[in-house]
Amino acid sequence: MLVDPRHPFFRPLRVRVLCVLLPLAWAGFEAASGSAFWAILFGAAGAYLFVMLFLNRKEDR
């Protein structure tokens, strides 16, 4: 597991949203500038973070 979704750093929603949106935004920038390899790499990183931080995250109660 590359990202531990239960780490206290990822508890605030704004941190999780930024951790997902920044790589996806950078992927869009790379795609617009014609760098397909980097666009795919950052897009995959953003998708992985979305899955780990939103879909597989279990709240500590």
For the segment 3-56, what is each residue's pLDDT rounded down to a tens digit? 999 999 999 999 999 999 999 999 999 999 999 999 999 999 999 999 999 998
Q: Domain locations in the chain? A: 12-55
Rounded to an integer, what distance in angstroms lies between the CA atom of residue 59 and that of residue 34? 39
Question: In Å, how far are 9, 24, 61 from 20, measured between CA atoms?
Answer: 14, 7, 24
Residue 60 is predicted with a pLDDT of: 58
